[in-house]
Amino acid sequence: MNATFSGRDHHGLLGDMTSKTLTVPAAALGTWAWGDSGEAGDGYFGSELTASGLREVVEKAHAGGFTLWDTAVVYGMGHSETVLAQALTGYDRSEYQLSTKFTPQAASDGADPVADMLEQSLNRLRTEYVDLYWIHNPADVARWTPLLIPLLRSGKIKHVGVSNHNLQQIALADEILGAAGFRVEAVQNHYSLLYRNSERAGILDHCREHDVRFFSYMVLEQGALSGRYGPAHPLPAGTNRAAAYNSILPRLQALTDRMRAIGAARGASAADVATAWAIAKGTTPIIGVTKESYVDGLIRARGMDLTAAEVAELEALANAADVNTRGWWEQELPPAAATLDE
Ligand SMILES: NC(=O)c1ccc[n+]([C@@H]2O[C@H](COP(=O)([O-])OP(=O)(O)OC[C@H]3O[C@@H](n4cnc5c(N)ncnc54)[C@H](OP(=O)(O)O)[C@@H]3O)[C@@H](O)[C@H]2O)c1
């Protein structure tokens, strides 16, 4: 199960050294906000998404080589998976990759809650298998991780990753899977210019050293770092993301102004610079694409080589903003030294 993620083709695709290796485009596409579309959904983002708009996103993304779709049962409680499957209608299953998650807090009372939740996802996603299956958070690593093993053996899941886990929890999951000949092949954590805790906790280094792909989520801080929103044009009123970010928008201004300027010099936007930063850090950003035009931004970000000086300048401005954007569902990650001492 040695996943090797090295080498790039003209689409910036990483890896595929063996038939068992997950091919990872330069960025994955996130569909949490898609759970808000239509009549269902929880209004978390306040995005006004339509089925035809999402189909356009898929067509443009696939044409650009972005074929890895990240979702979860809990995004709109099934609605994100359902509308994603609808938007993918007509594409051959071999043309795209699906990433979804087991969320411990939504587990059934059955004998095998992981298999139960996967089965529901397979039905909604209208597929026989998931390319990348995640344990969504570390609620009980020793309890849930072993239940992935029969699903890997059956081929219903091709690769596994852990999300929101700290270094010790990643190591425990890897040990459990390793005893059965499998491994943690990917980690998915919040990682943005404003929230670099996985870096400080040594998780990025761990992934680099152990050939584990690191997927960064909320690279745009749900739009707060996209350059589209600011004190004069805040995130949609009444939504969770407005509650989380609107009060800090004034402190992000210097950073987003600089991102905008760096982007403008290359015909790109502030959001593209945020995505390019995550790629420059050796991670695979999962970008929440809600509009067809945002896919153009991914294409620009993929081709943008930020200099080391630009990366350092952006990080210094992000530090100066002095905000904590940790999600309510995320645990504190101990800094690397503290982790090693424990
Ligand atoms: N494992 C976990 O616990 C976890 C947690 C959070 C997220 N995730 C995954 O990561 C994905 C990304 O996170 P996210 O969707 O919460 O936040 P995000 O990617 O940081 O931000 C998405 C928002 O940014 C705006 N945006 C996207 N592309 C843009 C562009 N090119 N230009 C300008 N604005 C742009 C859109 O807002 P507007 O629609 O308002 O323009 C969109 O709703 C999720 O969809 C999900 O798949 C995983």
Ligand 1 atom nearest to 287, measured from its CA? 19
- Tell me the CA distances in angstroms from 210 to 58, 85, 179, 185, 204, one per residue in order: 32, 33, 17, 9, 10
Q: Which atom of ligand 1 is nearest to the CA of 290?
A: 39
Helix (H) or strand (E) holding 119: helix 113-125
CB 67 within 8 A of CB 93: no
Atom of ligand 1 nearest to the CA of 101: 1
Residue located nearest, by CA, to atom 11 of ligand 1: 30
Contact, 310 vs 177, CB < 8 A?
no
The rounded Å distance from CA 180 to ligand 1 centre is 35
CA of 226 to the centre of ligand 1 (A): 10
Strands (DSSP E) contained in 191-279 are 213-217
Task: Calculate how far, in angstroms, residue 17's C-alpha sits from the geometric centre of ligand 1.
Answer: 30
Q: Is the CB of 220 under 6 A from ligand 1?
A: yes
- Does the beta carbon of 45 sit less than 6 angstroms from any atom of ligand 1? yes
Q: What is the mean pLDDT of each run of 10 residues along the chain (342 residues)?
A: 33 37 88 79 78 96 98 94 97 97 97 98 98 97 98 97 97 97 96 98 96 97 97 93 96 98 98 98 97 98 96 98 96 76 44
Structural domains of the chain in order of their starting residue, each with its CATH number:
28-326 (3.20.20.100)
Atom number of ligand 1 nearest to Cα 235: 40
Dihedral of CA atoms 319, 323, 325, 330 in degrees, nearest 10, equals 90
Tokens of 169: 């929890």
- Please tell me whether residue 132 adopts helix, strand or coil conformation: strand
Distance 193 CA to ligand 1 centre (A): 14
Whether the CB of 103 sits within 6 Å of ligand 1: no
CA of 159 to the centre of ligand 1 (A): 23
Strand duo 157-163 + 97-102: pairing: unpaired
What number of CA atoms fall less than 13 Å from residue 82's CA on the CB side? 15
Whole-number pLDDT of residue 6: 33
| Residues 6+ positions from 6 with CB-CB distance below 8 Å | 14, 15, 17
- pTM across the whole model: 0.93
Q: Cα of 109 to ligand 1 centre, how many Å?
A: 32
CB atoms near residue 152 (< 10 Å)? 18
Closest CA to 72 of 139, 163, 141, 153: 163
From the CA of 278, how far away is ligand 1's center (Å)? Answer: 13
Helix (H) or strand (E) holding 287: strand 284-288
Confidence at residue 22, expressed as pLDDT on a 0 to 100 scale: 66
Residue of 133, 188, 222 to test ligand 1 pocket, by largest number of atoms within 8 Å of CB: 222
Instruction: Give 222's DSSP letter.
Output: G
